[in-house]
Structure 1
Amino acid sequence: MLDIFSMTIKRFQQQRRIQVYLPRSYQLGEKKYPVLYMHDGQNVFRNDEAIGGVSLELESYLDATGLDVIVVAIDQNSEERKNEYCPWENGAYSQKFLGAESSSFGGKGKQYVEFIVEELKPSIDEKYRTIENQTAMAGISMGGLLTLYAACLYPTVFKNLYIFSGAFYANQEKMEDLLEATDLSAIRTLYMDCGTDEAGIGTFISKEFLASNHAIYEVVKRNFPAADFKVLEGEEHNYRSFQKRVQQLFSFLVNEVSL
């Protein structure tokens, strides 16, 4: 079941649609549930409203599996996505991907994460039966960059992280520096992956995209040796590929104990 409402992001003075998946068991008792927060909300649950026409199809997946988890999906603002999902303005590293003459973007990621932690999460915890200290976050592409950034800012809030094909290149330098300076010991699960053909078979950008992910992972595992990084042979940067990995998003449920 999807519960859908709008909420004002005060820092941006803008309404944003929030979709909340409640498991079928939610109406049958007083049980509390862990929560997974996700970005790019239009592409999380259903194909009929997905940008590009293909979503993760999580509503169907969760209905079929019967997993006891609440999923909160925050719609993207397509015009501002690159600004909101990048904590800093893009740096020199990004010129490998975008060209030296590319326009700058980014810098609103901190405000966006603060909205989730200071406004959205308290509202969700008040409205629904959540286990407040069992909170995960997942993101794809720039949403993956933002997810790792959120973990650095709030490592005691987001303890299980899932990143598909992280577009770290936009803030590569700053992200590596932040990771070096962050204590990640409170995190329980940190999963990353990247396809070998993100931008097509054998392309320069595909190789650089994978190299960017490898570099981030090398910094991550120095602070969090249990981090998991998978290179996915032949996988590309699209939702058909991302769909294949949805089971991974809920691996944290295996080790969580309901309160």
Structure 2
Amino acid sequence: MIETFKVTITPLQRERTVRVYLPPSYHSSDKSYPVLYMHDGQNLFFDEEAGYGMAWKMGEFLDSSSYELIVVGIDCNTENEGNKRLDEYGPWENKDIGKLMRNLDETFGGEGKQYVEYIVNELKPFIDDNYRTIPNDTAMAGSSMGGLISTYAAFQYPNVFNRIASLSSAYWFNQKEIEELVAQSEPTVIQKFYLDVGTQEASGDVDAAMYVDSSERLYKLIKGKVIECKFEIIEGAEHNEIAWNKRLPEIFAFLYE
């Protein structure tokens, strides 16, 4: 079952859709459940709602599995042909990335701090108050820029998230800054951190080699900071929801078993 409602991301004063997946047992039991927060919520469940017509099919996967958890999907900002998504998922500004990705002479990023602040200080308390959650069993996952902002959230708020999955991450968007944050952070509750990258990733002029190198650098830092860290380089994997859907069994086995 998926419930949908609107919220206002207060620090940015933007309205957004939130989709909440509830496990099949939710309304027939009094159990409490772990919560997984995910970005690009419109791409999580159904192809017809997804930006590129391809969804993670998260509901189908969980319904057919033994994993019982609540998934909170936050839609991305699609204003200005998706450029605002880069702003919200980029914790720090990048003055050069526009030319590299889209041949645009613009600065992107810098709003990720407020976006994560909203999740931690407003959305999470709302979800914990209105659903039967286990408040101290909170995970976050995302892909591409969603992987960057998930990693930022994990290490900026090291007492909040205990499981992280960062797929095909666009660390290169804020490479220097995210490396510095991880190096300086002392996470206390992160139990498991999964990250991966495909050998056929590409975004504009950012090629697969840049994706792989970028993720390898973060893995070397993260593995010394968390209890369990897993890094996969996936041969032939491309940069899309179909590829990420195929990795769900391995990701959930690592995070929740």
Q: TM-score, normalised by structure 2?
A: 0.92
SS, match of residue 52 in structure 1: coil
Query: 1:24·1:66 contact (CA, 8 Å) conserved in 2?
Result: no
Cα deviation, 1:66-101, whole Å, max 9, x if unaligned, reads 531100000001121000000001266x58954897
- Partner residue of 2:74? 74
Letter in 1 for 2:50: A
Residue 99 to residue 182, structure 1, CA distance change in 2 (3 Å)? same
Residue 147 to residue 97, structure 1, CA distance change in 2 (3 Å)? same
Tell me which of 111, 119, 123 is aligned to 1:120: 123
Query: 2:98·2:106 contact (CA, 8 Å) conserved in 1?
Result: no
- Report the CA distance between 1:11 and its aligned residue: 1.0
Count of equivalent residues: 251
Aligned equivalents of 1:95, 1:122: Cα separation in 2: 35
Asked if 1:152 corresponds to 2:155, the answer is yes
Query: 2:99·2:105 contact (CA, 8 Å) conserved in 1?
Result: no
Letter in 1 for 2:209: K
Query: 1:45·1:58 contact (CA, 8 Å) conserved in 2?
Result: yes
SS, match of residue 193 in structure 2: strand
Query: 2:192·2:227 contact (CA, 8 Å) conserved in 1?
Result: no
- Report the CA distance between 1:185 and its aligned residue: 4.0
Query: 1:133·1:157 contact (CA, 8 Å) conserved in 2?
Result: yes
Q: How does 1:163-202 map to 2 (within 5 A)?
A: 163-199=166-202
Q: How does 1:3-152 map to 2 (within 5 A)?
A: 3-79=3-79, 80-90=84-94, 94=97, 97-98=100-101, 102-152=105-155
Residue 245 to residue 96, structure 1, CA distance change in 2 (3 Å)? farther
Cα deviation, 1:168-208, whole Å, max 9, x if unaligned, reads 001001011111100124210000000011129xx971111
- Partner residue of 2:236? 234
Aligned equivalents of 1:8, 1:248: Cα separation in 2: 34
Asked if 1:221 corresponds to 2:220, the answer is no
- Report the CA distance between 1:216 and its aligned residue: 1.2
Q: Percent identity?
A: 43
SS, match of residue 207 in structure 2: helix
- Partner residue of 1:211? 213
- Partner residue of 1:257? none
Structure 2, gaps ≥5 residues long: none
- Report the CA distance between 1:253 and its aligned residue: 2.6
Over 6 Å off, 4+ runs: none
Cα deviation, 1:10-47, whole Å, max 9, x if unaligned, reads 11112111100001100111100000000000000111
Query: 2:98·2:108 contact (CA, 8 Å) conserved in 1?
Result: no
Letter in 2 for 1:155: P
Aligned equivalents of 1:233, 1:60: Cα separation in 2: 25
Letter in 2 for 1:36: L
- Report the CA distance between 1:63 and its aligned residue: 1.8
Aligned equivalents of 2:93, 2:116: Cα separation in 1: 16
- Report the CA distance between 1:249 and its aligned residue: 4.2
Aligned equivalents of 1:101, 1:77: Cα separation in 2: 19
SS, match of residue 137 in structure 2: strand
Structure 1, gaps ≥5 residues long: 255-259
Aligned equivalents of 1:58, 1:127: Cα separation in 2: 22
Query: 1:91·1:171 contact (CA, 8 Å) conserved in 2?
Result: no
Cα deviation, 1:36-62, whole Å, max 9, x if unaligned, reads 000000000111110000000111112
SS, match of residue 227 in structure 1: strand
Q: TM-score, normalised by structure 1?
A: 0.91
